[in-house]
Structure formats: structure tokens, C-alpha cells
Chains A and B, each alone.
Chain A
Amino acid sequence: TQLLEQSPQFLSIQEGENLTVYCNSSSVFSSLQWYRQEPGEGPVLLVTVVTGGEVKKLKRLTFQFGDARKDSSLHITAAQPGDTGLYLCAGANTGGFKTIFGAGTRLFVKA
């Protein structure tokens, strides 16, 4: 059974701080996605990474896919209160169906 473990589970920081959240697995994935979810809403796709070692940037967010395609990280620079939410990583195999999700990292950014 493929599992994705996210750490930390919860993170509370001050506005302006930097942070990194991690997503780890013992399994290899064809791709990995990061989503953000707000209370009472569905997850919203932030990025998909496909190639081992790939780095993608989305404004203040930097996503990295591990060389072995088993892990990923999300780094946020100068966090803002609007970054508050649940960050989910999700892994998919070839074909993209039956994506599995980690339990998420709940981020709270205080003004």
C-alpha cells in the first residue's frame, strides 16, 4: 500500500517568516501534486511535479520533487496570513488515476 507522510502536521508562524513542509513516501510516484484546501472547500491544485529533482516556483512558493521521486517539499518565503490553510501532497502513478493524498500540513500565519 502506498502511503504519503506529511510533516509537520501543524505549523503556526508569524507573518514574514519562512517555512518548509515535507512529503515523504517509501514508494516511487510518476508525479506529485500539491494542493491547498480552505475550511469547507475542496482542495485547489497548486502545482504538479513530474521529473525527479524538478523545482517549480509559484510566486513565494517553491516546490521540489526528490531525485528518486519518493518525496517532495514545499517552501514558502515571507509567509502571509493569506497563506493560511491545509497543504496536501498527493502522489499519482502513470495514467493519473487513483491519486493518493497525505494527511496534510495545517498552516496558520499570524499577522
Chain B
Amino acid sequence: DTGVSQDPRHKITKRGQNVTFRCDPISEHNRLYWYRQTLGQGPEFLTYFQNEAQLEKSRLLSDRFSAERPKGSFSTLEIQRTEQGDSAMYLCASSVRDSYGYTFGSGTRLTVV
């Protein structure tokens, strides 16, 4: 069990560019979650997958954001046409079905300049 891995750890991008983040969950976990955390705040829910199905998306997830989890393994989160307001820590977590506790990755810190 190597935990939840996120890549990259840090990303600096210019406004208007597209970025993609990757998350590798714990292998036996069938649920995967994406959260966003800004300075001084707790994580905010973005979306979650059960296996390969994306079952819920937050209203925070504008049409510039898309997430996939092909084959129910790793997941990607893409942000198109980044804006300065997208600067945040993007956290991925995984769990087994019906488990209340999550295992989080170390996050990807996005800075849009």
C-alpha cells in the first residue's frame, strides 16, 4: 500500500493555459474524490467517482473543469483556460465503498500567474 499519489506536486501556469493533474488512488479503493482547498479554508468537494463512473459533480466545477477515471484506476483533472481564481491546492482522496474516512494524497499546488 503506497498511499494516494498525485502528480505533479506543484504547477505554475500562465493564465489561459490548460493544465492536467493525475491521481493514483490506493489500488483496492473503488471510490475517488477530488477536492479543492484555498488558503485558510477547508477542502471543498469537486467531484467523485465510483469505479469509472462519475457520480456527482459540484456546482464549483465549471465547464472549464473535467475529470475522468478510465478503467476505474487512476484519475485526471483537467482545467482549461486557467484563471487566477483557479489557484489552489487540488486534493485527491480515495476510499472503499461506504467507508466514511478518506485517504488523501499530498495534493497538487496550482499557481496561475
CB-defined interface of B63-100 with A at 8 Å, one 1/0 digit per residue?
A: 00000000000000000000000000001010101111
Total B residues in contact with A, Cβ cutoff 8 Å: 29
Evaluate contact between B102 and A45: CB separation under 8 angstroms: yes
CB-defined interface of B14-36 with A at 8 Å, one 1/0 digit per residue?
A: 00000000000000000101010
Total A residues in contact with B, Cβ cutoff 8 Å: 26
B105 to chain A: which residues have CB within 8 Å? 42
Evaluate contact between B56 and A98: CB separation under 8 angstroms: yes
Evaluate contact between B42 and A99: CB separation under 8 angstroms: no
Q: Is A92 an interface residue (CB 8 A)?
A: yes
Stretch at the interface among A53-61, A68-76, A101-109: A101-109
A-to-B contact residues, CB < 8 Å: 4, 30-31, 33, 35, 40-45, 48, 50, 88, 90, 92, 95-104
